[in-house]
Amino acid sequence: MVLACIQIFCASLNHRVVLFPCAHIQSLWSFCSCSARKVQRRQRNLVAAMWGGSCPISMSPPTEKYDVFLSFRGEDTRDNFISHLSAELCRKNIKTFIDYRLDRGKEISPALYREIEQSMIYVIILSEHYASSTWCMDELTKILECKQIYGRDVIPVFYKVDPSNVRNQRESFEEAFIEHQQRFRDKVDTWKDALTQVAGLSGWDSQVTGPEHTLVTDIVEEILKKKKNRHRFLSNCEGTIGMDKHIEQIKSLLHLESPAVRIIGIWGMGGIGKTEIARAIYHRFATQFNSSSMILNVEQEIKRVGLSNIHNKYISELLEEDKLSSKLQCSYVQRLRQTKVLLVLDDVNTSNLTIKHSNFGQGSRIIMTSRDKHVLKNAISDEIYEVKEMCFQDSVQLFSLNAFKQNYPIKAYVDLSEKLVLNHAKRVPLVLKNLGLLLHGRTRDAWESELQKLQEFPDEDTFKVLKLSYDSLDDRQKNMFLDIACFYTGHLVNDVARTLDSCGFSADIGMDVLKDKGLIFISEGRIGMHYLIQKMGHEIVRWECVDDPRNRTRLWNPEEIYHVLKNKGTNAIRCIFLDVCKINKVQVHGKTFKKMSNLRIIQFYKPSGFWNDDSNVILPESLKSLPHTLVFLRWDNFSLKSLPLKFCPKNLVKLDMRGSNLEQLWEGDQDQVLPKLKRLDLSYSRKLTRVPDLSLCPNIEQIILSGCVRLVDIYSSSFLNKLNFLCLHDCVELRSLNLRRDGLSRSSGLVVLYGCVRLELVVLVESLYFLF
């Protein structure tokens, strides 16, 4: 503490105010020991008064409306010093709040408190009668409160008064408090503490710095410097949060001591901070190379000026040639091969930009950032560094710098800040910054309103950045991405791949592309997708038709599906996924599916254990058909006795109707061929009495008829060479199972007959696993 006080004392000597004149170090040591305790005690009292309610504290983070707030005693300074100072501030375009009212009353209005909160720098003119004004003392208390809470700058100006008299409340300051003692007993101690605190700050003494116009000029220059430093601080803080970790990890990949040429890729989703990392690497290590060049937004620049101009730009910068000559190209290539360079290319998303190790001199390092990992692979990168989300602590700091202009959230906003960082920004730098700037200066109600909005719609600026990766996909890849975003996040990757393949997409190469572009990832055998990317996918679908979900390709919202089922669909709809437990009971229109000529998936499912309950989706007997384009049809608790007569299932790959009211698949003898069907699941369809000749399903792999308690016979008139799983447990009335000798050809096939107590005839292949 003593050392800290000595540092404060010494620092004050560098400014224009001598706060603690002292002849000997020993007396200084003694002074610091007692003064430190006194200042600590008074600061505790002041902070307690601040939070105790002596001054109203705004519940919203203040917007910095003014550069400077001037606090002064009008009768001492209005017509001289203040008029000169305000004129110079105006001349320098420094936005200043000055309260010119002559009769300012006894108490500060809430409006003036807001003006104080919305100012960035406070200049306090401590004149002879400053303390005699209760208005000035309340202003000062509020100013120091804002300094404590928001980290604002305070510049005291001791105008024709001795700083020690202010600090110790002597002479006119002592007289003022004697007058205040009776009427404002509850505030006097707080006011004294405020004067002591402000007198301890570095400031200006008019009796040391003169003449007056020089003092005014010096004060304005200091204000300009503080403004500049504050902006630089905020900018630097944003760019350095969490940066050391990235720099150290990338430095280990650069192998700066090696004479080999190395290409390092920096890869990650849009908005994750690749550009800032590359910029930091460039500024940190550029001096270790003979020459350096950094080109930002390469993809955008290629579109604007062309690929050859990008090549010429970095060559001219690396060789320090103002203008390149086409006649000297060979010379440039040779010189570049002899030069140790650092080249940073940001946002490279095309493989047409040719970067080769052999083009650069020994020890050169090329750093490329990209949203597309495949581009970095094509560049034969020696290492690829993946940029992931920020840690929680760094995320809160970055968000706070933009929302509150300080390193941490304001007390009243801690809970909302955490929700935004964890639930919506998801620790992505671009989103943290955008949301912070959007909410800066807004009320708590506005924050809560934005939180509610973000539940449904992503931040617009974030959406545009993330969508760049989507826009670079071809049509099939876009459809794959939207299917995964809307329906398959968290599903087993092999199941999703088979589903996408069945829909006509090339799943293996398509998912590789999506992974390389950072749109999906695989974790423990399941497909994952960043929350913000998934929200972006949802928003793309919503924008297909904002007002009418019938004209969107994919439906998953129960309310929107209710609207479609109640009316008629359109040929825009490709997929419908619905947990039928989450929709209100709806009578489906008889012609709902008539115009859905491109529908490939219906998934009306229930959670396990609810299959035997009544369905909320009620079908009319007039339903004559389903779209012939259907590839997957799952409809738990399907309410009709058979599938629609005019439904042609030639494209059907999966048919799942658990707990249905089906008595048979087709009415009468109108059995349909199912040439592509691989899976048939009619389990717990307790009214089912027959299934068609399974030879109509030549590619069937799985048949699940568990719990079909009225089913008597299962038969195939030809071989089912692909069948590998047959589950018939609890088919208590089943008497005959005849799938011919070679019906199950795979040795790994499994037949489950547990609970088939009446089974009399079984004709199956040998060497199978049976479970009775």
Note the pLDDT tens digit of each residue in 573-582: 999 999 998 9
pLDDT tens readout for residues 217-257: 999 999 988 877 665 555 555 567 888 899 999 999 999 99
pLDDT of residue 57: 34
Long-range contacts of 471-478, Cβ-Cβ distance < 8 Å, separation of 24 or more? 472/349, 472/371, 472/372, 472/517, 473/513, 473/514, 473/517, 476/504, 476/505, 476/506, 476/510, 477/510, 477/513, 477/514
Residue written as token pair 């928001």: 150
**pLDDT of 440 higher than 80:** yes
Strands 521-523 and 526-528: antiparallel
Catalytic residue among 88, 117, 128, 139: 139
User: 165-169, 422-426, 495-499, 726-730: lowest mean pLDDT where?
Assistant: 422-426
Q: How far apart are CA 192 and CA 430, in angstroms?
A: 46
Distance, in Å, from the CA atom of 219 to the CA atom of 480, rounded to the nearest integer, reads 63
Q: What is the pLDDT of residues 604-622, one digit of tens each?
A: 998 875 656 678 888 888 7
pTM: 0.67
Look-up of token digits 């939070």: 51
Enumerate helices (H) and strands (E) in the chain, giving the number of each.
Answer: 26, 27
Whole-angstrom distance, CA of residue 121 vs CA of residue 220: 11
- Residue positions counted in the chain: 772
**Is the confidence at residue 700, as pLDDT, over 60?**
yes
Mean pLDDT computed over every residue of the chain? 83
Per residue in 343-377, pLDDT tens? 999 999 887 788 899 999 999 999 999 999 999 99
CB-CB contact of 364 with 343 (8 Å): yes
Let me know if 175 is a catalytic residue.
no
Amino acid at position 570, single letter = T
Structure tokens at 71: 């606090």
- Annotate 594-633 with DSSP letters as a single string: TT-TT--EEEEE--TT-TTSPPSEEPPTT-----TT-SEE
